[in-house]
Amino acid sequence: MSGIGTGYDLSTTTYSPDGKVFQVDYACKAVDNGGLALGIKCSDGVVLGVEKLLPFKMLVPGSNRRIAPVDRHAGMAGAGLAPDARQIMSRARSECANYKSFYGDKIPSKILADRMANYLHMFTLYWSVRPFGAAVLLAVRDPATGVYELYLLEPSGECQRYHGMAIGKGRQAAKNEVEKLKLGEISCAEAVKEAARIIVTTHDEKDKDYECELAWICDASGGEFKKVPKDIADEAIAAAKRALDDDDAMDAD
């Protein structure tokens, strides 16, 4: 067997000579090929946005969502394989429910992030399973401190806390745009517009149609994870598309 992947990528329990687990690398590649997902931590909450690619025009609008709540004080946005992302979200709901049943209180943000990271990591330890081909952004309000937090959970089980992050297709261009924002100072109302703008401007025209999903957990939502109200989301998306059309018209001139 050579050291370029052949033979070393048959199981997650096998390291290559240079210390890589190729199955995890392949899972990360699946995330990179999925629609963009981004998170922005604001002064009054966290905003999540997702570019949901639509492979067929006959799909019902709003179906197969990539953003979902896992408890009243927490929600996730996934990138990569949709079924894998749904399984991660389902497990997060179970963790929240089990903690509430045992301790009688909402699960703290750090404990939820750590438990989910351990769950993802577990699928890199046994030859009979494969790593999840999805990564998720976790937006949560800590029930004890009331602080809003944003976490990234990767297929390897890596868990990091961020002020802003983008994953999926076009993540680098989206990251560059997120870094330009005044993270931690911008309000959620402003961040919704910025998230819509980033998703619209970084969308690859070679891809088929897409939907822009937006959700937040902030003071305006009462500290609960909810979809951004339709009128606010539609206005932000429409403004982003108008700005893009104006830029294209100027370039054409």
**Domain of 87?**
22-52+64-247
Which has the higher per-residue pLDDT, 179 or 250? 179
The pLDDT tens digits of the residues spanning 134-143 come to: 999 999 999 9
In a domain, 226, yes or no: yes
Evaluate if residue 1 carries a pLDDT over 80. Answer: no
Contact 48, 137 (CB under 8 A): yes
In a domain, 229, yes or no: yes
In a domain, 3, yes or no: no
Residue keyed to tokens 């100072």: 185
Bridge partners for 235 per DSSP = none
In a domain, 29, yes or no: yes
Contact 71, 106 (CB under 8 A): yes
What does the mean pLDDT of the chain come to? Answer: 91
What CATH number does residue 201 fall under? 3.60.20.10
DSSP-assigned letter for residue 228:
P
Q: State CA 241 to chain mean position distance.
A: 22
Q: What confidence score (pLDDT) does residue 104 get?
A: 95
What total number of domains does the chain contain? 1
DSSP string computed for 156-205: TS-EEEESEEEESTTHHHHHHHHHTS-TTTS-HHHHHHHHHHHHHHH--T
Report if pTM > 0.85.
Answer: yes
The pLDDT tens digits of the residues spanning 184-238 come to: 899 999 999 999 999 999 988 777 788 999 999 999 999 999 999 999 999 999 9
